[in-house]
Structure formats: structure tokens, C-alpha cells
Amino acid sequence: QQQVKQSPQSLIVQKGGISIINCAYENTAFDYFPWYQQFPGKGPALLIAIRPDVSEKKEGRFTISFNKSAKQFSLHIMDSQPGDSATYFCAASKGNFNKFYFGSGTKLNVKP
């Protein structure tokens, strides 16, 4: 049973558009929610993360929106660029940062 469910599996966005990737979780003990970005042939790299005491976190063109009551969080990429084309993973952890549960990944393709 997957602890974190991610959608969509793939996403095509035009350059300049907004990319939105959604994740949902069940375990209310989760208290840290990172997003990872993975380019082909590379390992995932931490992109942005949020804790449940805030509803939104923004870093440049990347924003996490967090809805604690719905147990959902999402990644928004504003003004999407072809260089953003990658696979994105959401994740969640509880208490210690050694154990992360990952979503199934979203392959984003930004068309020029």
C-alpha cells in the first residue's frame, strides 16, 4: 500500500504555463513533505519542502501548497520552462528524516 499517492503520472505543459502536481497521504503523523526533481541519468535532488504548520511555501517559480485537513499537498511550477522537464517526486516523513515515503513520480514535459 503506497503511503503517498501522486498524480498525474505524466504532464505536458506549454512553455510559460503552470505545472501542477498533486500528492495525497493518509498518515497524519507525517510532518515533513519534500519534493524532489530528477533529470534523466541523475539521482533525485531536493527541490523544495514544507512542514504542516504553514499552508504555502514559495521558492522562486516553485510553490508548495499544503492542505492539512484534506491531507493533500501540491507543487506548482509557474512560468514553466523546457529546462524544468524532469520527473518530480513528492515524499513524506514522520519524526526522523531517515525514512521517506515517496510518491510514484510525475514525468513533466515542457514544450517550447
Partner 1 sequence: EAQVTQNPRYLITVTGKKLTVTCSQNMNHEYMSWYRQDPGLGLRQIYYSMNVEVTDKGDVPEGYKVSRKEKRNFPLILESPSPNQTSLYFCASSHNYGYTFGSGTRLTVV
- Residues that bind partner 1 in the complex, under the rule CB under 8 A: 2, 4, 6, 9, 32, 34, 36, 41-46, 49, 89, 91, 97-100, 102-105
Smallest separation, CB 16 to partner 1 (Å): 29
Distance, in Å, from the CA atom of 55 to the CA atom of 57, rounded to the nearest integer, reads 7
Give the residue with the Cβ less far from partner 1, 17 or 31: 31
Give the residue with the Cβ less far from partner 1, 92 or 110: 92
Give the residue with the Cβ less far from partner 1, 33 or 85: 33
Smallest separation, CB 32 to partner 1 (Å): 7
Smallest separation, CB 49 to partner 1 (Å): 6
Give the residue with the Cβ less far from partner 1, 44 or 110: 44
Matching residue, cell 506549454: 14
Q: Could you say which DSSP state residue 83 is in?
A: G
At 84, is the secondary structure helix, strand, or coil? helix
Residue 12 CA: distances (Å) to CA of 3, 17, 32, 108: 26, 10, 28, 6
Smallest separation, CB 106 to partner 1 (Å): 10
Three-class DSSP labels, 45-75: EEEEEECCCCCEEEECCEEEEEECCCCEEEE
